[in-house]
Amino acid sequence: MSSTSPDPTADPGHPPIAIPRQILLAMAQTLRRPDADAPADTWQDMVDAAMTQLGALGPRDPIEAMLAVQVIAANAGVLDAYRTAMEPGTLMAPAARQRASAVAMTRSVFGLLRLLAQRQKSAPAVACDWGEAAAGIGALWRQAPVRPAEASPAGKAAQAEPAEIIRWYDEIDDEELAIEDERVRRELAGEPPLPPPPGPKRIYKYKPGDYGATWKGADPKSFAHYPGWENMTMAERRAFFGYTYKGPGCPISMLSAESQAAYAAQQEVEAAERKEYGQGEATPER
């Protein structure tokens, strides 16, 4: 058993309880692990800092100890999320998710602190005498059937991580799609590629029969310069707008004088073009 060591003058009437070693170990396992080659003092310093925080929270019973340990664990998660978001190799979208996670965990820390403060305003719970119940229940728990293993046979080595995985377009979120679009754009533009995400290489595809797979590429006319219909000949207008109507037109007499003059001038231009290319005379439109 290990006990916390807060300021004894904080609450002399209700000193902290002795915290079981297993609870302290579980708390330490929620902290950010030092590097594997870090000296033993580094590990001990981190545990000492967490135990100092636990002592400052001053739990007086197991429930308060549970809340205090959760406060320390959630705060460790907040710091780790912020640290990950600020690492040089973290992309913008994952960094934003890490910061959002840190903000959410910060709200959890404040909520746990409020619960702990409210509970500490009341009298501590009366200790219960359980006798030898723990030993008997522990023996029964040990004899209970274990949870079935996974589908892979027991003792079989885990399958190696694949080199490539398929990601379906209709199953990814907008952030992942934006990253893939930026990767493709850089590849087509010959720009430096994005840093690859950790893990297997991702291949993005449409599912067989997906409606998105039937989409065609953008029409080149969508990117063509539009000079204005008044600056285009009739043939250019028809080619630009894809006009394919071959039926009879309206009578020329129904047009305004300006339109009739423009039509006559256009007919002269087209007749000259046909004569130049030996196509003969055209039949006037009606």
112 in a domain, yes or no? yes
pLDDT at 286: 40
Q: Looking at the domain assignment, is residue 234 inside a domain? A: yes
- Residue 283: predicted pLDDT: 47
Do 109 and 193 belong to one domain? no
Q: What pLDDT, on the 0 to 100 scale, is given for residue 16?
A: 62
Long-range CB pairs of 204-213 (<8 Å, 24+ gap) are 204/167, 204/168, 204/169, 204/172, 204/180, 205/166, 205/167, 205/168, 205/169, 206/168, 206/169, 206/170, 207/168, 207/169, 207/170, 210/168, 210/169, 210/170, 212/169, 212/170
For residue 83, tell me if it sits in a domain: yes
The structure tokens listed for 139 are 């023996």
Q: Which domain holds residue 107?
A: 2-122
Asked if 174 and 250 sit in the same domain, the reply is no
Looking at the fold, whether 202 and 258 belong to one and the same domain comes out as no
Number of domains into which the chain is organized: 3
Q: Are residues 105 and 31 in the same domain?
A: yes
How far is 139 from 153, CA to CA, in rounded Å? 28
pLDDT for the residue 2 = 44
Q: Is the overall model pTM greater than 0.85, yes or no?
A: no
pLDDT on residue 149: 67
Residues 198 and 40: their CA atoms lie apart, in Å, by: 30
Let me know: does 233 contact 266? Beta carbons within 8 Å. yes
In a domain, 74, yes or no: yes
What are the backbone angles phi and psi of residue 244, rounded to the nearest 5°?
-120, 15
CA dist., res. 26 & res. 229, Å (int): 75
- Answer yes or no: do 92 and 188 share one domain: no
- pLDDT score recorded for residue 213: 67
Helix, strand or coil for residue 203?
A: strand
Residue 138 lies in a domain: no
pLDDT at residue 175, as a whole number? 85
**In this predicted structure, what is the pLDDT of residue 280?**
52
Q: Are residues 49 and 97 in the same domain?
A: yes
In tens digits, the chain (286 residues) has pLDDT values of 444 444 444 455 556 677 888 888 888 888 888 887 888 888 888 898 999 998 899 888 888 889 999 999 999 999 999 999 998 888 888 888 899 999 999 999 999 999 999 988 887 767 677 777 778 887 887 888 877 766 555 445 556 778 888 888 888 888 888 888 888 888 888 888 888 877 788 888 888 877 766 766 666 666 677 888 788 887 788 788 877 777 777 788 888 888 888 888 888 888 887 787 665 554 444 4
* Co-location of 106 and 43 in the same domain: yes
Q: Is position 285 within any domain? A: no
If asked whether residues 112 and 188 sit together in one domain, one would say: no
Q: What pLDDT is stored for residue 112 in this prediction?
A: 92
Residues 6+ apart with CB under 8 A from 270: 233, 234, 235, 282
Pair 52, 112 in one domain: yes
Residues 59 and 80 in one domain: yes
Q: Is residue 115 part of a domain?
A: yes
pLDDT at 5: 46
Pair (96, 183) in one structural domain: no
Confirm whether 156 is domain-assigned. no
Q: Do 110 and 8 share a structural domain?
A: yes
For residue 266, the model assigns a pLDDT of 83
